[in-house]
Amino acid sequence: MGHYFPRFQSSCLAMVLSVFFASAHAAPFAQGDMSVSVVIGSGQAFNDNYTIVGAGVGYYVADGLRLGVDAEIWLGGRIDINKVSPQVQYVFARTEKLKPYLGAFYRRATIEGLEDLNSAGARAGVYISNREGYYLSFGIVQENYLSCDEKVYVSCSDTYPEISLTISL
Protein backbone atom coordinates (compact mmCIF):
# COMPACT_ATOMS: atom_id res chain seq x y z
CA MET A 1 0.00 0.00 0.00
CA GLY A 2 1.53 3.32 -1.08
CA HIS A 3 1.65 6.42 1.06
CA TYR A 4 -1.02 9.01 0.42
CA PHE A 5 -0.05 12.66 0.52
CA PRO A 6 -2.97 14.58 -1.01
CA ARG A 7 -2.57 18.20 -2.05
CA PHE A 8 0.14 18.96 0.47
CA GLN A 9 -0.26 22.74 0.29
CA SER A 10 -3.81 23.36 -0.85
CA SER A 11 -5.15 21.44 2.12
CA CYS A 12 -3.37 23.89 4.40
CA LEU A 13 -5.21 26.82 5.95
CA ALA A 14 -2.87 29.15 7.82
CA MET A 15 -2.88 32.64 9.22
CA VAL A 16 0.40 34.39 8.54
CA LEU A 17 1.28 37.42 10.62
CA SER A 18 4.32 39.33 9.40
CA VAL A 19 5.92 42.12 11.35
CA PHE A 20 8.32 44.57 9.69
CA PHE A 21 11.01 46.24 11.71
CA ALA A 22 11.53 49.36 9.63
CA SER A 23 14.65 51.44 9.75
CA ALA A 24 14.52 55.21 10.29
CA HIS A 25 11.86 55.71 7.56
CA ALA A 26 8.13 55.11 7.84
CA ALA A 27 7.55 52.85 4.81
CA PRO A 28 8.14 49.09 4.86
CA PHE A 29 9.73 47.17 1.96
CA ALA A 30 12.83 49.44 1.94
CA GLN A 31 16.49 48.48 2.05
CA GLY A 32 17.56 47.65 5.59
CA ASP A 33 14.08 46.62 6.78
CA MET A 34 13.67 43.27 8.48
CA SER A 35 10.55 41.10 8.62
CA VAL A 36 9.51 38.38 11.05
CA SER A 37 6.54 36.10 10.37
CA VAL A 38 4.53 33.66 12.45
CA VAL A 39 2.35 30.93 10.93
CA ILE A 40 -0.46 29.14 12.76
CA GLY A 41 -2.85 26.94 10.83
CA SER A 42 -4.09 23.49 9.97
CA GLY A 43 -3.49 21.06 7.16
CA GLN A 44 -4.13 17.52 6.01
CA ALA A 45 -1.64 14.92 4.81
CA PHE A 46 -1.51 11.12 4.84
CA ASN A 47 -5.19 11.05 5.85
CA ASP A 48 -4.34 12.90 9.09
CA ASN A 49 -5.17 16.38 10.35
CA TYR A 50 -2.25 18.55 11.45
CA THR A 51 -1.67 21.76 13.37
CA ILE A 52 0.93 23.86 11.56
CA VAL A 53 3.29 26.10 13.51
CA GLY A 54 5.99 28.12 11.81
CA ALA A 55 8.18 31.18 11.75
CA GLY A 56 10.25 33.11 9.27
CA VAL A 57 12.69 35.96 8.95
CA GLY A 58 13.52 38.22 6.01
CA TYR A 59 15.81 41.12 5.20
CA TYR A 60 15.45 43.75 2.48
CA VAL A 61 18.81 43.83 0.71
CA ALA A 62 17.52 46.58 -1.61
CA ASP A 63 14.30 48.60 -1.85
CA GLY A 64 11.54 46.04 -2.47
CA LEU A 65 13.89 43.01 -2.59
CA ARG A 66 13.63 40.63 0.37
CA LEU A 67 15.64 37.49 1.03
CA GLY A 68 14.25 35.20 3.71
CA VAL A 69 13.79 31.77 5.17
CA ASP A 70 10.70 30.13 6.72
CA ALA A 71 10.31 26.92 8.74
CA GLU A 72 7.19 24.93 9.64
CA ILE A 73 6.43 21.97 11.89
CA TRP A 74 3.30 19.92 11.24
CA LEU A 75 2.05 18.50 14.57
CA GLY A 76 -0.61 15.97 15.57
CA GLY A 77 -0.45 13.42 12.78
CA ARG A 78 1.00 9.92 12.76
CA ILE A 79 3.86 11.05 10.47
CA ASP A 80 6.19 13.93 11.43
CA ILE A 81 6.52 16.65 8.77
CA ASN A 82 8.99 19.57 8.86
CA LYS A 83 9.61 22.16 6.14
CA VAL A 84 12.34 24.74 5.50
CA SER A 85 12.01 27.26 2.68
CA PRO A 86 14.55 29.89 1.55
CA GLN A 87 12.91 32.51 -0.66
CA VAL A 88 13.18 35.77 -2.53
CA GLN A 89 10.41 38.34 -3.02
CA TYR A 90 10.18 41.66 -4.84
CA VAL A 91 7.54 44.23 -3.81
CA PHE A 92 6.67 46.94 -6.32
CA ALA A 93 6.12 49.73 -3.77
CA ARG A 94 5.24 52.55 -6.15
CA THR A 95 1.78 53.43 -4.86
CA GLU A 96 0.45 54.01 -1.35
CA LYS A 97 -2.44 51.55 -1.27
CA LEU A 98 -1.58 48.73 -3.72
CA LYS A 99 1.83 47.06 -3.77
CA PRO A 100 2.11 44.06 -6.13
CA TYR A 101 4.70 41.39 -5.38
CA LEU A 102 6.46 38.49 -7.13
CA GLY A 103 8.52 35.80 -5.47
CA ALA A 104 10.26 32.47 -5.82
CA PHE A 105 11.17 29.77 -3.31
CA TYR A 106 12.79 26.41 -2.78
CA ARG A 107 11.31 24.11 -0.13
CA ARG A 108 12.62 20.97 1.54
CA ALA A 109 10.09 18.85 3.41
CA THR A 110 11.34 16.17 5.78
CA ILE A 111 8.71 13.45 6.08
CA GLU A 112 9.10 10.63 8.59
CA GLY A 113 9.54 7.29 6.83
CA LEU A 114 9.93 8.77 3.34
CA GLU A 115 12.66 10.44 1.33
CA ASP A 116 12.78 14.22 1.67
CA LEU A 117 10.47 16.03 -0.74
CA ASN A 118 11.97 19.02 -2.56
CA SER A 119 9.93 21.64 -4.35
CA ALA A 120 10.33 24.96 -6.09
CA GLY A 121 7.70 27.53 -6.77
CA ALA A 122 6.61 31.04 -7.54
CA ARG A 123 4.13 33.42 -5.96
CA ALA A 124 2.39 36.61 -7.05
CA GLY A 125 -0.04 38.88 -5.32
CA VAL A 126 -0.73 42.31 -3.93
CA TYR A 127 -0.36 44.06 -0.58
CA ILE A 128 -3.33 46.32 0.15
CA SER A 129 -3.25 49.10 2.74
CA ASN A 130 -5.79 51.69 3.80
CA ARG A 131 -3.98 52.51 7.01
CA GLU A 132 -0.34 53.40 7.52
CA GLY A 133 1.67 50.42 8.75
CA TYR A 134 -0.92 47.68 8.11
CA TYR A 135 -0.99 45.57 4.95
CA LEU A 136 -3.27 42.70 3.97
CA SER A 137 -1.94 40.58 1.12
CA PHE A 138 -3.70 38.24 -1.26
CA GLY A 139 -1.78 36.04 -3.65
CA ILE A 140 -1.45 32.77 -5.47
CA VAL A 141 1.34 30.20 -5.30
CA GLN A 142 2.39 27.57 -7.83
CA GLU A 143 4.56 24.82 -6.32
CA ASN A 144 6.20 21.95 -8.23
CA TYR A 145 7.58 18.96 -6.32
CA LEU A 146 10.99 18.10 -7.77
CA SER A 147 11.63 14.72 -6.15
CA CYS A 148 8.04 13.54 -6.38
CA ASP A 149 7.00 9.98 -7.15
CA GLU A 150 3.39 9.82 -8.35
CA LYS A 151 3.21 6.25 -7.02
CA VAL A 152 3.62 7.73 -3.53
CA TYR A 153 1.95 11.16 -3.86
CA VAL A 154 -1.37 12.04 -5.44
CA SER A 155 -0.01 15.11 -7.25
CA CYS A 156 3.45 16.48 -8.04
CA SER A 157 2.35 20.12 -8.37
CA ASP A 158 -0.05 22.36 -6.58
CA THR A 159 -1.61 25.80 -6.86
CA TYR A 160 -3.02 27.48 -3.74
CA PRO A 161 -3.98 30.90 -2.38
CA GLU A 162 -2.05 32.79 0.28
CA ILE A 163 -3.30 35.48 2.65
CA SER A 164 -1.25 37.41 5.19
CA LEU A 165 -1.44 40.37 7.52
CA THR A 166 1.66 42.54 7.72
CA ILE A 167 2.34 45.11 10.43
CA SER A 168 5.14 47.65 10.07
CA LEU A 169 6.82 48.71 13.31
Q: Are 58 and 67 in contact (CB under 8 A)?
A: yes
Tens digit of pLDDT for each residue in 86-120?
999 999 977 778 899 999 999 999 999 888 999 99
The residue ranges of every structural domain in the chain are 13-163
Cβ-based neighbours of 68, under 8 Å, separated by 6 or more: 35, 56, 57, 58, 59, 86, 87, 88, 89
Residue 27 reports pLDDT greater than 80:
no
- The pLDDT of residue 7 is 38
User: Residues of the chain with pLDDT > 90: what percent?
Assistant: 42
The correct answer on CATH 2.40.160.20 for the domain covering 13-163 is yes
Distances (CA, A) of 163 to 74, 151, 157: 19, 31, 20
Residue 144 reports pLDDT greater than 80:
yes
Residue 17 reports pLDDT greater than 80:
no
Name the 3-class secondary structure at 31: coil
Residue 155 reports pLDDT greater than 90:
no
Please state whether the predicted TM-score (pTM) of the whole model is above 0.85. no
Tens digit of pLDDT for each residue in 33-78?
888 888 888 888 888 899 989 999 999 999 999 999 999 999 999 9
- The pLDDT of residue 2 is 37
Residue 129 reports pLDDT greater than 70:
yes
User: Residues of the chain with pLDDT > 70: what percent?
Assistant: 81
